[in-house]
Amino acid sequence: MVNLNAVAPGGGREYYVALGLEGSANKLGVGVVKHPVVGKHEGGDFSYDCESQILSNVRDTYITPAGEGFLPRDTARHHKNWCVRLIKQALEEAGIQNAAKDLDVICFTKGPGMGAPLHSVVVAARTCSLLWGVPLVGVNHCVGHIEMGREITKAVDPVVLYVSGGNTQVIAYSEKRYRIFGETLDIAIGNCLDRFARTLRISNYPSPGYNIEQLALNCKKKDTLLELPYTVKGMDLSMSGILAYIDNLAKDLFRDNRKNRQLFDRDSDEAKISVEDLCFALQENLFAMLVEITERAMAHVNSNQVLIVGGVGCNLRLQEMMQQMCQDRANGQVHATDERFCIDNGVMIAHAGLLQYRMGDFVKDLSETVVTQKFRTDEVYVAWRE
Amino acid sequence: MSEDVLAKVYEYLTPGLPVVPIAQGAEAVVFTSEKHPYLPNSGKFILKYRPPKRYRHPSIDKALTKHRTIGEARLLTKLFLIEGLKVPKLIACDAYNGYLWLEFLGEELPHGKGFSNLKNFLWMYATDDGDPYCSIVEETLKKVGQQIGLLHWNGYCHGDLTSSNIVLSRSGKNETSWQPYLIDFGLGSTTDSVEDKGVDLYVLERAIISTHSAHAEAYNEWLLKGFSEIYKRYGDAGEVKLKEVTKRFQEVRLRGRKRSMIG
């Protein structure tokens, strides 16, 4: 039996408060979450309904110039520069005067992610923990996304599509683990979109994927789709080949390579395909693959709910396609969140970390706070679910 | 199953051709029909339909439906020519619309135990009055192993081996010996890679463990026994290949499905 109230909140309070620090990629997020003590949590699996309140959710994104990606070293420097400021701002917005007394736990991202940025954030977490005497919890980034998505949408047991810059996975819960049913065999979907945006030299603000989505909306020739490789392999997919293919097309377009008859008309020598068409084709192709593997997983585990999490989950076209797929299945439902929770944030780390803390799992010794770049979703023991 | 799909099928078919939906997967819907699609014969036939998916762009959808239906039809035709291998007979294929007509196999098991696929068959013998270790079960499972052995030896993979994708058929009502048929080659492929074959065997093992856990050990042993028999028929070369496949199978099992799966 799951008992989420095993550990009592500190200072005789009627609620738990957690600070979450996230910095596994180019976003630095700090969030404060409050869970009230609820009687029903003592006797069963209500981890999707913690009645949590978000006291603050601040974020700063390291944005690189158009045509450039973020390097680990520079990203880590950005996080170091902003960490203290953001923590102060988050605590102030949450109305926490005395962190040592008012916080139950500090949660940080343990992995997966880029080594240097992860490391610079965990140093801040350790410092705060020692300064205020508050225990630490290391959280798996993917589990953070899943738990936050469940809490916001109240989806009890969905098939999860986790799509972001570093991960592409279809996940379903079974026997205390989030099991991976299908995933990418090479690069992540967000990575594919980001790198294509670099080739196009479009702005990285607010995010490359968002700008591709806007360009795709302006595509004039939506009914003649450019054909791209379609690489679903059972429940897995592969995206590096698609990227290489479309990258070459884009380069030929910019170089004005008239020999490429796929791009330039044989008679008039005019470009048949625009940047908008390329963006549209790329999105349609990639998202069709994602929805297909999600549908396979749903048929496999006999589920009718889907939860989309991760940065690419903000994409409205992806949400729309998922909606259409679910409408054609009996009682299908799609759950998605908006950019506050889809894009990496501190709140999700605080929320998932707090669940872990309430089950009595927190760091006993600082040697357990080592961050790791490789940390698979199914390595986490999900104590808070039946 | 949504009404739209049914309406589409009725619109496509010759009026008066009766079809009954029996199953829906992620990709296809399966119907049975009492009438042959183009001959005056009657009997029982299978119609496998891949409905268009609204979520994907029509041109992607068309290309995929065509590609996959043709792929499955080709595979079935090739497999049908292999001596000893039992797969359903392909009757007709309309790749552009995503329809496959196949021969119907199997029957209803006695005492309302359901359709005669391997899953229901094993469950029938595993209930109170049956003996899960009787010679009929052993014989049947060895035959299933032989079918998979033949498939692999000839350079093909099934891709989705489960006990519900194996149908048992017998010549008469009182016949005690069952002939297994492999069905649903939607994920099948032509391959010589040892990895694919190892994964194929592993997928089957997992399926047996999860659906027939009480007697899985014996069942898997018999399956492997049948599988090995085929390879051993081909002398030393067969032995070598068998060793490769079983070794890879062990490795796949150790690393779990694909990569590190803990727990």
Q: Are residues B120 and B238 in the same domain?
A: yes
Q: Is the pLDDT of residue B263 over 80?
A: no
Pick the last residue of a domain from B84, B103, B122. Answer: B103
- Identify the CATH number of the domain in which residue B195 sits: 1.10.510.10
pLDDT tens digit sequence for A26-37? 999 999 999 999
Q: Are residues B123 and B47 in the same domain?
A: no
pLDDT value of residue B262? 36
Chain B residue numbers with beta carbons less than 8 Å from the beta carbon of A284 are 56-57, 60
Asked if A242 and A286 count as a contact pair (C-beta separation under 8 A), the reply is: yes
**Structural domain contains residue B261:** no
pLDDT value of residue B259? 47
Could you tell me what percent of chain B has a pLDDT over 70?
Answer: 96
Contact B263 A175 (CB under 8 A): yes
With CA atoms as reference, the chain B residue closest to A286 would be: B56
Chain A residue numbers with beta carbons less than 8 Å from the beta carbon of B54 are 324-325, 327-328
**CB-closest option in A296, A298, A321 to B55:** A321
pLDDT tens digit sequence for A62-111? 999 999 999 999 999 999 999 999 999 999 999 999 999 999 999 999 99
Residue B160 known to be catalytic: yes
Contact A330 B1 (CB under 8 A): yes
Q: Are residues B95 and B134 in the same domain?
A: no
pLDDT tens digit sequence for A104-157? 999 999 999 999 999 999 999 999 999 999 999 999 999 999 999 999 999 999
**Structural domain contains residue B200:** yes
How far off is chain B from A177, nearest CA to CA, in Å?
A: 8
Contact A328 B4 (CB under 8 A): yes
**For the residues B234-255, what does the mean pLDDT come to?**
91
Lowest mean pLDDT among A62-66, A166-170, A327-331, B76-80: A327-331
**CB-closest option in B55, B63, B259 to A291:** B55
- In terms of Cα–Cα distance, which of A183, A373, A178, A166 is closest to B262? A178
Tokens of residue B35, six digits: 């009438």
**For the residues A23-52, what does the mean pLDDT come to?**
93
Superfamily of domain covering A10-150+342-379: ATPase, nucleotide binding domain (3.30.420.40)
Helix (H) or strand (E) run with residue A51 in it: none
pLDDT confidence of B239, banded at 50, 70, 90?
A: very high
Contact A284 B263 (CB under 8 A): no
Pick the last residue of a domain from B40, B69, B103. Answer: B103
Chain B residue numbers with beta carbons less than 8 Å from the beta carbon of A325 are 53-55
Q: Which residues contact A20 (CB under 8 A, 6 or more apart)?
A: A29, A30, A31, A32, A33, A106, A107, A108, A139, A144, A345, A346, A347, A348, A349, A350, A351, A353
**Structural domain contains residue B260:** no
Q: Are residues B40 and B137 in the same domain?
A: no
Average pLDDT of every residue of chain B:
89
d(CA A385, CA A352): 12
Lowest mean pLDDT among A164-168, A221-225, B35-39, B210-214: B210-214
Instruction: Tell which wins on pLDDT, A96 or B26.
Output: A96
pLDDT value of residue B258? 43
Contact A284 B25 (CB under 8 A): no
Tokens of residue A359, six digits: 């089950």
Which residues in A287-326 are b (16+ Cβ under 10 Å) and which e? bbbbbbbbbbbbebeebebbbbbbbbbbbeebbebbbbbb
Q: Are residues B114 and B140 in the same domain?
A: yes
pLDDT tens digit sequence for A175-232? 899 988 888 989 999 999 999 999 999 999 999 999 999 999 999 999 999 999 999 8
Q: Are residues B89 and B127 in the same domain?
A: no
Q: Is the pLDDT of residue A254 over 50?
A: yes
Q: Is the pLDDT of residue B261 over 60?
A: no
**CB-closest option in B60, B64, B258 to A284:** B60
State residue A364 phi and psi, 5-degree precision. Answer: -95, -25
User: Phi/psi class of residue A34: alpha, beta or left (left: φ > 0; alpha: ψ in -120 to 50)?
Assistant: beta
pLDDT value of residue A321? 97
Q: Are residues B85 and B167 in the same domain?
A: no
**Structural domain contains residue B262:** no
Chain B residue numbers with beta carbons less than 8 Å from the beta carbon of A175 are 263
Count contacts between A and B (CB, < 8 Å): 71
Annotated binding site of A for a divalent metal cation: 141, 145, 162, 344
Long-range contacts of A260-269 (CB under 8 A, 24+ apart): A262/A226
Q: Are residues B174 and B236 in the same domain?
A: yes
Test the A interface: residue of B1, B60, B210, B255 with most A CBs within 10 Å? B60
Q: Among B61, B128, B129, B160, which one carries the catalytic annotation?
A: B160
Q: Would you list which residues of chain B are within 8 Å, Cβ to Cβ, of chain A?
A: 1-2, 4-5, 25-27, 53-60, 63-64, 159, 187, 258-263
Contact A321 B63 (CB under 8 A): no
Lowest mean pLDDT among A36-45, A250-259, B169-178: B169-178
Contact B261 A179 (CB under 8 A): yes
Q: Are residues B115 and B235 in the same domain?
A: yes
Alpha helices in chain A (DSSP H): 72-94, 99-102, 115-132, 141-153, 189-200, 208-217, 240-255, 275-301, 316-327, 339-342, 346-358
CATH 3.30.450.20 fits A155-340, yes or no: no
Contact B55 A299 (CB under 8 A): no
In chain B, the N- to C-terminal Cα span, in Å, equals: 35
pLDDT value of residue B255? 67
pLDDT value of residue A100? 95
Q: Report the number of distinct structural domains present in chain B.
A: 2
Annotated binding site of A for substrate: 162-166, 194, 209, 213, 315
- In terms of Cα–Cα distance, which of A142, A61, A104 is closest to A310? A142
Q: Is the pLDDT of residue B51 over 50?
A: yes
**CB-closest option in B1, B5, B159 to A234:** B159
**Structural domain contains residue B63:** yes
Tokens of residue A64, six digits: 């690189």
Chain B residue numbers with beta carbons less than 8 Å from the beta carbon of A298 are 26
**What residue has token string 């945006």?**
A197
pLDDT tens digit sequence for B135-179? 999 999 999 999 999 999 999 999 888 888 999 998 777 778 899
How far off is chain A from B262, nearest CA to CA, in Å?
A: 6
Q: Are residues B120 and B209 in the same domain?
A: yes
pLDDT confidence of B5, banded at 50, 70, 90?
A: confident
B64: containing domain = 3-103
Do A155-340 and A10-150+342-379 have the same topology in CATH?
yes
Could you tell me what percent of chain A has a pLDDT over 70?
Answer: 100
Q: Are residues B119 and B71 in the same domain?
A: no
- Identify the CATH number of the domain in which residue B68 sits: 3.30.200.20
**Structural domain contains residue B40:** yes
Q: Establish whether the linkage from the previous residue to A112 is cis, with ω within 30° of 0.
A: yes
**Structural domain contains residue B53:** yes
How far off is chain A from B96, nearest CA to CA, in Å?
A: 18
**CB-closest option in B1, B187, B263 to A234:** B187
**CB-closest option in A234, A300, A325 to B55:** A325
Q: Are residues B55 and B18 in the same domain?
A: yes
pLDDT confidence of B260, banded at 50, 70, 90?
A: very low
Pick the last residue of a domain from B103, B134, B164. Answer: B103
Tokens of residue A105, six digits: 């736990």
**Structural domain contains residue B126:** yes
- In terms of Cα–Cα distance, which of A277, A336, A330 is closest to A311? A336
Could you tell me what percent of chain B has a pLDDT over 90?
Answer: 60
**What residue has token string 């098991």?**
B109
Beta strands A136-140; A105-111: pairing state: parallel
pLDDT tens digit sequence for A321-333? 999 999 888 788 9
The residue ranges of every structural domain in chain A are: 10-150+342-379, 155-340
- In terms of Cα–Cα distance, which of B138, B146, B140 is closest to B82? B146
Chain B residue numbers with beta carbons less than 8 Å from the beta carbon of A180 are 261
